[in-house]
Chain A
Amino acid sequence: MLVLVEQSLNGLQFGLLLFLLAAGLTLVFGIMDFVNLAHGSLYMMGAYFAATFVAWTNSFVLGILLALGATLLLGILLEFVALRHLYGRDHLDQVLATFGLILFFNDAVRLIWGPAGLSLPLPSWLTVPVQIVPGVFYPAYRLSIIVVALAVAAMLYIVVMRTRIGMLIRAGASNREMIGALGINIKLLFTLVFGLGAALAGLAGLMQAPILTVQIGMGENILILAFVIIVIGGIGSIRGAFLAAIFVGMIDTLGRAFLPDLLRTVLSSAAASTAAPALSSMLIYLLMAIVLVVRPEGLFPAAKR
């Protein structure tokens, strides 16, 4: 039972992290109708910025705040310089251009920081395990990821559902032409949304950095999961991204945790332990396939156009 609690926390933590990445992606995709493959590069840049600024300032919190600001600025700059010229284009053009950006960022990082990768050490107050319920110790840092991500999710909810900006964002997701016709500065709105998405991706990257290492191409594998999440959740829907991300995080972690033992009851031990990881990594894609067949618009689609 206690194991289940701990593994569920692992799943929740992973899911929330995916949410941060998917939220930005779904905003940009849903509102601007723009496919941004370079979203994973912003995740990587967030991690590199954090590792650099933490080393410079010698303060974990300060470094992370600086990195967040830097990723936001980078996102706005990127939108301003390159991506804004692609909005009217075909999705294929956008995919090609943003794929080019992935290569650009990977090589830029190789030039600036070198090929070996960086590490982002945690301050000592985040490295101790915390007792959540009697008998269950959980790493403080992973716990803090859960707290921060939940706070960000709540903030996003308030901004999107309760403020004027949020209203415009939602309106943009439902009908872009109409809000343009109503005199809203859609260019500025897009820049803002893109910057926000970039900052969220950067936050995901820098929070993941102390757990994983900071390395070139770190955003590419996880970007696929983020796309899966927005497809499951419904494109453009923050609520969908949130629920789907937690769902995917749970399936991935619980699959890895319990599938091997489950399989061992029917298969030989050796066959089970090699089949289980392969099978558990397939589960998420199976889920996506089922969702696409049963509800192609996603489980929690944004308001209809």
Chain B
Amino acid sequence: MKKAFWLAGAAILALAQPASAGDTIKIGFVSTFSGPTAVIGNDMRNSFELALDHLGRKMGGKPVEVIYEDDGQKPDVGKQKTEKLIQSDKVDFIVGYIWSNVLLASLKTAVDSKTFLISANAGPSQLAGELCSPYVFSTSWQNDQTPQAVGTYMNQKGVKSVFLIGPNYAAGKDMLAGVKSTFKGQVVGEEYTVWPSQLDFSAELTKAKNSKAESIFVFYPGAAGVQFLNQYAQAGIKGQIPLYTAFTIDELSLPLQKENAIGVPGAQQWVNDLPNAENKKFVEDYRKKYTGLRPTFYGAQSYDAVNLINSAVVAVKGDTSKKDEMKAEMEKANFKSVRGPFKYGKNHIPVQNFYLQDVVKDADGQLSLKTVATIVKDDQDRFVDKCPMK
């Protein structure tokens, strides 16, 4: 025990010493660590740390240093933090970004400085299309892809009409556009709510109920998803109008949503029970390291981000000045992703499968998410042709 303290002390001292350039791999991590959505940022950080542990906290023989910054879910703050990390900390990679509007505000700083940016969640349509960049990679998806899969699933179920509800910001608009692009039935209504301040959806639920739509689709990430499901159940329309979701039910919201989430389907590119060895290791070790917590797709994407960066750093043997070689290596997606193997499109967005997920009681009697079926295979986002890169 005492020895562990000494080691920890020594480690802190080592970190405190100013590292001369090139000795360490410096990674900046921008996510939300304060406010109601801080649980998402914490999950991303947990998974990022776990992935570094699995690599022995070294990449290409060099120690890794991570600087975490809180964007407070605000685009202007995210941009400032990105500038700070790139200009004064001079990081080699910048990772994270839950929110599409935060990422869009921060993007130019990273691209102009030719710093590699890995989005571990946000996937605005602009990033996949006209704003694509050689220095930007995604370990998640393009926003439209997941709701597109939900739309496809609704077609399979023979749903004839839908009422769409989502938050009024970049990702909300992408999500509703995504469903509309694949859903073959009629869209009877489309409502946007003030984001992130509006948490009472009574007016929208009343409209949905009176629209006589056969189904409702929503996108509400984080705590808003809990509130929406609560109010959907309380309004008594759970039995009447089935709900379809994207990014509304995950391992963070499920303990609060409880029974309200049962029977509400969603789509995802990663589910905790995907049967590959890398994923088993990730989920098991996460639950061991962070007792009482379960990893989410946000975490899975952050875990993948570490391994993507590692593949690039190993390929250039730790010489992070060789940007072209690192880019070429990352384009191969030459690492073991917890979602299973995938390829990159020319816009650096994954071409990947999307699964139908359902809420079930697991062996411990706790509610958890389960893969039910594969909705689409090797799905490429629909903005790739707008990307000028080859």
Complex-state Cα separation, A254 to B203, whole angstroms: 8
Whether B198 and A212, one on each chain, are in contact in the complex, defined by CB atoms closer than 8 angstroms, is: no
List residues of chain B with CB within 8 A of the CB of A13.
202
List residues of chain B with CB within 8 A of the CB of A2.
210
Give the distance to chain A from B316, nearest Cβ to Cβ, in Å: 38
Interface of B is mostly: helix
Query: Which one of B168, B199, B230, B231 has the greatest number of beta carbons of chain A within 10 Å?
Result: B230
Whether A10 and B206, one on each chain, are in contact in the complex, defined by CB atoms closer than 8 angstroms, is: yes
Q: Is B207 an interface residue (CB 8 A)?
A: yes
Q: Is A100 an interface residue (CB 8 A)?
A: no
Whether B36 and A127, one on each chain, are in contact in the complex, defined by CB atoms closer than 8 angstroms, is: no
Option from B42, B191, B203, B256 in Cβ contact (under 8 Å) with A10:
B203
- CB neighbors of A among B270-313 (8 A): none
List residues of chain A with CB within 8 A of the CB of B35.
216-217
Option from A115, A210, A281 in Cβ contact (under 8 Å) with B38:
A115
Give the distance to chain B from A286, nearest Cβ to Cβ, in Å: 15
Interface of A is mostly: helix
- CB neighbors of B among A52-78 (8 A): none
Option from B197, B226, B236 in Cβ contact (under 8 Å) with A139:
B236
Complex-state Cα separation, A121 to B260, whole angstroms: 10
Whether B202 and A10, one on each chain, are in contact in the complex, defined by CB atoms closer than 8 angstroms, is: yes
Q: Is B234 an interface residue (CB 8 A)?
A: yes
Q: Is B227 an interface residue (CB 8 A)?
A: yes
Q: Is A256 an interface residue (CB 8 A)?
A: yes
Whether B256 and A142, one on each chain, are in contact in the complex, defined by CB atoms closer than 8 angstroms, is: no
List residues of chain A with CB within 8 A of the CB of B207.
3, 257
Complex-state Cα separation, A119 to B367, whole angstroms: 15
Q: Is A211 an interface residue (CB 8 A)?
A: yes
Give the distance to chain A from B36, nearest Cβ to Cβ, in Å: 5
Whether B173 and A274, one on each chain, are in contact in the complex, defined by CB atoms closer than 8 angstroms, is: yes
Q: Is B235 an interface residue (CB 8 A)?
A: yes
Chain B 257-268, CB within 8 Å of chain A: the 1/0 string?
110000000000
Complex-state Cα separation, A102 to B175, whole angstroms: 35
List residues of chain A with CB within 8 A of the CB of B168.
274, 277-278
Can you name the residue of chain B whose Cβ is closest to the Cβ of A256?
A: B203
Give the distance to chain A from B34, nearest Cβ to Cβ, in Å: 9
Knowing A129-B236, A137-B236, A274-B173 touch, does A14 contact B202 (C-beta < 8 A)? yes
List residues of chain A with CB within 8 A of the CB of B42.
115
Q: Is A215 an interface residue (CB 8 A)?
A: yes
Whether B234 and A213, one on each chain, are in contact in the complex, defined by CB atoms closer than 8 angstroms, is: no
List residues of chain B with CB within 8 A of the CB of A33.
none
Q: Is A117 an interface residue (CB 8 A)?
A: yes
List residues of chain A with CB within 8 A of the CB of B199.
212
Chain A 214-244, CB within 8 Å of chain B: the 1/0 string?
0111100100000000000000000000000
Q: Is B223 an interface residue (CB 8 A)?
A: yes
Q: Is B193 an interface residue (CB 8 A)?
A: yes
List residues of chain B with CB within 8 A of the CB of A274.
168, 173, 192
Whether B234 and A122, one on each chain, are in contact in the complex, defined by CB atoms closer than 8 angstroms, is: yes
Q: Is A276 an interface residue (CB 8 A)?
A: yes
Give the distance to chain B from A126, nearest Cβ to Cβ, in Å: 8
Knowing A10-B206, A256-B203 touch, does A128 contact B236 (C-beta < 8 A)? yes
Can you name the residue of chain B whose Cβ is closest to the Cβ of A260?
A: B191
Knowing A3-B206, A257-B207 touch, does A211 contact B230 (C-beta < 8 A)? yes
Option from A10, A116, A122, A281 in Cβ contact (under 8 Å) with B198:
A281
Q: Is A174 an interface residue (CB 8 A)?
A: no
Complex-state Cα separation, A129 to B232, whole angstroms: 11
List residues of chain B with CB within 8 A of the CB of A116.
39, 252, 255-256
Knowing A6-B206, A115-B39 touch, does A127 contact B233 (C-beta < 8 A)? yes
Give the distance to chain B from A173, nearest Cβ to Cβ, in Å: 31
Give the distance to chain B from A85, nearest Cβ to Cβ, in Å: 29
List residues of chain A with CB within 8 A of the CB of B23.
none
List residues of chain A with CB within 8 A of the CB of B236.
127-129, 137, 139
Q: Is A141 an interface residue (CB 8 A)?
A: yes
Q: Is A98 an interface residue (CB 8 A)?
A: no
Q: Is B49 an interface residue (CB 8 A)?
A: no
Q: Is B200 an interface residue (CB 8 A)?
A: yes
Q: Is B65 an interface residue (CB 8 A)?
A: no
Chain B 13-35, CB within 8 Å of chain A: the 1/0 string?
00000000000000000000001
Complex-state Cα separation, A115 to B256, whole angstroms: 13
Q: Is A253 an interface residue (CB 8 A)?
A: yes
Q: Is B204 an interface residue (CB 8 A)?
A: yes
Give the distance to chain A from B240, nearest Cβ to Cβ, in Å: 10
22 A-B residue pairs with CB within 8 Å: A3-B207, A3-B210, A6-B210, A10-B202, A115-B39, A116-B255, A117-B226, A119-B257, A122-B234, A137-B236, A139-B234, A142-B202, A211-B200, A211-B234, A213-B223, A217-B36, A253-B202, A254-B203, A276-B192, A277-B168, A277-B192, A281-B194
Q: Closest 10 A-B residue pairs measured CB to CB?
A: A129-B236, A10-B202, A119-B256, A257-B203, A256-B203, A139-B234, A277-B168, A215-B36, A213-B226, A281-B194
B binding-site residues for A, Cβ under 8 Å? 35-36, 38-39, 42, 168, 173, 190-194, 197-200, 202-204, 206-207, 210, 223, 226-227, 230-231, 233-236, 252, 255-258
